[in-house]
C-alpha cells in the first residue's frame, strides 16, 4: 500500500548512496522513503530525500562524452579499456584502482574483484561504504570505544532515553 502523497507511477527502488540500502519510492520529481522497507521504515536522510534533484539537473550527463563530444557507448568503453591497458603497461597493475558503489550486490562485488585482482592484477578495490561510514566509525569509537553496530529503528522506538 502506498503512502497517500505517493504518485501512482512511483517505483520501489534502493537509495544508491551509502551501504544501508534504504528503500525509496521514486517518481519523476518526487522521492520518499518506502514505509514497508525494513532498512529505513520510510525514513530518509538528507541525501536520500534529495535524490529527485539529481535526476532533474539540466547538466546531468545522459550520453557518453569524450573531450566534450558525444560518442557511442562502444567507443566510450573502448576508450576506458584502452586507458586502463595503457596505465598497466606504462605504470604497472597497481596504477589502477576501482572505487565501487556501496549498493552493489554480493555477486557484483565478486565480479568487480575478479576483474580488478584476477584479470588486471591490482589490489586496489574499495567501495563508497567505507568512506560513507568513516564518520560513523570515528563517532562510535569515540563514544563507545569500538566500532559497534548501531541499534535498529525498532530499538529506538522502544528506548526511554536516546543520547546523541
What is the domain partition of the chain in residue ranges?
A: 11-55, 61-91, 95-164
Q: Where are the beta strands (DSSP E) in the chain?
A: 11-14, 23-27, 30-33, 65-66, 69-70, 98-100, 125-127
Those residues with Cβ within 8 angstroms of residue 89's Cβ, 6 or more apart along the chain or in another chain: none
If the chain, 164 residues long, is cut into consecutive pieces of 10 residues, what is the mean pLDDT of each piece? 69 84 89 93 91 78 92 96 97 96 83 96 88 76 80 81 80
pLDDT of residue 153: 74
pLDDT of residue 43: 94
Q: What is the DSSP letter of 148?
A: P
Tell me the whole-structure pTM to 2 decimals.
0.58
Q: Report CA torsion sign: 29, 33, 37, 38.
A: positive
Instruction: Give the cell for residue 146.
Output: 569500538
Q: Which CATH number fits domain 11-55: 3.40.50.1000, 2.20.25.90, 3.40.1000.10, 3.40.50.1980?
A: 2.20.25.90
Amino acid at each position: 500500500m502506498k503512502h497517500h502523497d505517493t504518485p501512482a507511477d512511483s517505483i520501489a527502488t534502493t537509495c544508491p548512496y551509502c551501504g544501508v540500502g534504504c528503500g525509496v519510492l521514486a517518481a519523476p520529481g518526487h522521492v520518499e522513503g518506502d514505509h514497508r522497507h525494513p532498512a529505513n521504515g520510510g525514513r530518509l536522510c538528507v541525501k536520500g530525500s534529495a535524490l529527485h534533484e539529481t535526476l532533474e539537473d539540466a547538466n546531468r550527463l545522459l550520453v557518453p562524452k569524450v573531450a566534450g563530444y558525444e560518442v557511442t557507448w562502444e567507443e566510450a568503453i573502448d576508450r576506458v579499456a584502452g586507458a586502463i591497458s595503457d596505465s598497466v603497461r606504462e605504470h604497472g597493475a597497481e596504477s589502477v584502482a576501482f572505487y565501487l558503489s556501496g549498493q552493489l550486490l554480493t555477486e557484483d562485488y565478486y565480479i568487480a574483484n575478479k576483474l580488478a585482482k584476477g584479470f588486471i592484477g591490482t589490489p586496489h578495490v574499495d567501495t563508497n561504504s567505507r568512506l560513507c561510514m568513516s564518520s560513523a566509525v570515528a563517532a562510535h569509537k569515540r563514544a563507545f570505544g569500538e566500532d559497534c553496530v548501531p541499534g535498529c529503528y525498532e530499538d529506538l522506538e522502544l528506548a526511554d532515553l536516546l543520547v546523541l
